[in-house]
């Protein structure tokens, strides 16, 4: 502790905070059963490193359960250890941990799967109750008492604003270069003649402060840590994901040829994973140039494009970096200052901002149906995978909304394109393009029947096309604007449950 205190001395630059250092165990002892805790963190970056473990130990010992609100997913030393020790009563708005997922699907943890732009608004409205404690990781505390976040901003500003008490987890290993990379803007309450326009007209222009403003009187304690962020897995493209990327790039190139986009495209938002990495990698060798990124998360591929001169500026709310980039983060931050900025997720994901900028959005689907509805969250319509995240914020409001998926799963036994999705996260009204390794379907300006024929032909795996056409033809014979045979709409899923394959008439059990 003494060594950490010595390292923290230069990072706590306001005397009102100097005598607030406590152990993680003491801070955890302040938590009571039923409390709500707002934690920093988004895609494993910027989460508290030692407080969650101390809270988990407290829960294991005393049997308390708390509500955990965050920006998005946290790692094994936060979501994982808290779920393992039965510390969580309610979790929102997003998660991606296998232990927590099991607890959610088993009914042990209540889970609210929210659009990521909605959490802050509902906290302002009082819908989600009060925040008892905000626990926020910091790189420094400035002379004027601002908290400098680390690798994410997420929902931290609203948590600090609404919390009764604040605990700062000061990470002495966080690069000093974090200071100056954040742009913290907090909207006023909703209402006529109250909230002004969110002034993001150029994503590279600052609109807020370098840190999170906090009343020193609300800060009950400062916990010290020296652990780095957990690297995100680096998803290397395979043959299928590379084909998806090629098809998506082909679509964008056609948009340029048709005069609907320039070679600078429009501000890009991408999900994370192998497809996103393949798309970003492909852009390095494309004719696209001077691209702006307006996303939630910045992953390795974005920085490759900045280095290549393809991306000129990138705005998001968090990092999601591989071990390679985590290791060189301190020097990289200095290099990318002026080209990267982090804002609260209610700004990056705000419908007003997304619509104004005309974002091109591409995210991953679990399954899509022939009419363009998308399931992003529920396996077989019942079991939560991760959550909707920010995909809905972008899908409804983007200039072009693209969903990508491999056409099959489970070694080809499951078709990702089905007659009817088992859970609807994104209605077909919000979906412009579906891309698989088989091809892409541009749904814009087409009726439901035209869409179905196009999705079956261009996106579905050949082994499922015949049975899809048979379903569609028989449904059309019954009539309707969006033809279905309700008694058969989920027959493919039912067949898989009984026979281990969606290929009708075959069995692998």
Q: Which two tokens stand for residue 1?
A: 């502790």
Burial class (CB in 10 A: 0-12, 13-18, 19+), 306: buried
Q: Which two tokens stand for residue 64?
A: 């308390």
CA separation for the pair 328, 334 (Å, rounded): 11
Report strand pairing: 36-39 vs 131-138.
parallel
Contacts of 220 (CB under 8 A, 6+ apart): 20, 27, 30, 133, 165, 166, 167
Q: Omega before 93 cis (within 30°)?
A: yes
- CA dist 357 → 54, 203, 354 (Å): 43, 9, 5
- DSSP readout, 277-330? HHHHHHHHTSS--SEEEE-SEEEHHHHHHHHTTSEEEEEESEEE--HHHHHTHH
CA separation for the pair 403, 434 (Å, rounded): 5
Closest to 449 (Cα-Cα) out of 375, 374, 370: 370
Report strand pairing: 400-404 vs 360-364.
parallel
Q: Which of 103, 137, 169, 296 is catalytic?
A: 296
CA separation for the pair 88, 143 (Å, rounded): 36
Contacts of 215 (CB under 8 A, 6+ apart): none
> In the annotation, is 296 catalytic?
yes
Q: Are 154 and 72 spatial neighbours (Cβ–Cβ below 8 Å)?
A: yes
Query: How many CA atoms, within 13 angstroms, populate the side-chain half-sphere of residue 201?
Result: 2
CA separation for the pair 258, 238 (Å, rounded): 30
Q: How many residues comprise the chain?
A: 509
Catalytic residues: 296
């Amino acid at each position: 502790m003494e060594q950490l205190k010595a390292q923290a001395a230069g990072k706590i630059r306001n005397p009102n905070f100097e005598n607030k250092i406590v152990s993680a165990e003491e801070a955890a002892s302040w938590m009571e059963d039923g409390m709500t805790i707002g934690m920093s963190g988004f895609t494993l970056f910027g989460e508290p490193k030692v407080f969650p473990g101390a809270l988990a130990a407290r829960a294991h010992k005393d049997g308390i359960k708390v509500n955990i609100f965050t920006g998005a997913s946290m790692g094994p030393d936060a979501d994982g250890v808290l779920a393992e020790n039965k510390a969580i009563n309610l979790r929102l708005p997003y998660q991606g941990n296998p232990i927590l997922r099991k607890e959610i699907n088993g009914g042990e943890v209540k889970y609210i799967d929210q659009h990521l732009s909605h959490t802050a608004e509902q906290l302002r409205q009082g819908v989600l109750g009060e925040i008892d404690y905000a626990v926020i990781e910091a790189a420094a505390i400035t002379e004027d008492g601002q908290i400098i976040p680390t690798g994410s901003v997420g929902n931290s500003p609203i948590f600090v604003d609404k919390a009764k008490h604040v605990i700062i987890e000061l990470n002495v290993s966080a690069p000093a270069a974090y200071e100056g990379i954040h742009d913290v803007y907090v909207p006023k309450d909703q209402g006529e003649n109250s909230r002004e326009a969110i002034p993001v007209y150029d994503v590279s222009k600052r609109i807020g402060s370098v840190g999170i403003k906090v009343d020193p009187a609300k800060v009950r304690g400062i916990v010290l840590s020296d652990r780095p962020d957990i690297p995100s897995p680096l998803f290397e493209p395979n043959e299928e994901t590379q084909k998806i990327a090629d098809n998506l790039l082909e679509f964008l190139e056609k948009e340029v040829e048709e005069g609907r986009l320039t070679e600078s495209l429009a501000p890009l938002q991408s999900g994370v994973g192998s497809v996103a990495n393949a798309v970003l990698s492909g852009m390095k060798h494309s004719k696209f140039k001077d691209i702006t990124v307006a996303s939630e998360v910045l992953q390795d591929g974005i920085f490759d494009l900045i280095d290549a001169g393809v991306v000129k500026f990138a705005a998001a709310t968090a990092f999601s970096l591989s071990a390679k980039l985590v290791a060189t983060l301190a020097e990289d931050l200095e290099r990318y200052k002026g080209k990267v900025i982090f804002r609260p997720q209610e700004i990056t994901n705000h419908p007003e901002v997304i619509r104004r900028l005309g974002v091109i959005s591409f995210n991953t689907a679990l399954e899509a149906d022939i009419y363009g509805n998308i399931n992003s969250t529920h396996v077989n319509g019942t079991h939560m995978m991760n959550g909707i995240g920010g995909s809905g914020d972008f899908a409804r409001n983007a200039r072009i909304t693209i969903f990508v998926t491999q056409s099959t799963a489970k070694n080809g036994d499951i078709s990702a394109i089905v007659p009817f999705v088992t859970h609807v996260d994104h209605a077909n009204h919000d979906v412009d393009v579906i891309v698989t390794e088989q091809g892409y379907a541009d749904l814009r300006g087409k009726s439901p029947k035209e869409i179905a024929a196009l999705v079956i032909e261009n996106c579905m795996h050949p082994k499922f096309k015949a049975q899809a056409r048979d379903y569609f033809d028989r449904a059309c014979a019954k009539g309707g604007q969006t033809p279905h045979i309700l008694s058969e709409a989920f027959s493919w899923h039912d067949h898989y449950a009984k026979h281990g394959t969606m290929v009708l008439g075959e069995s692998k059990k």
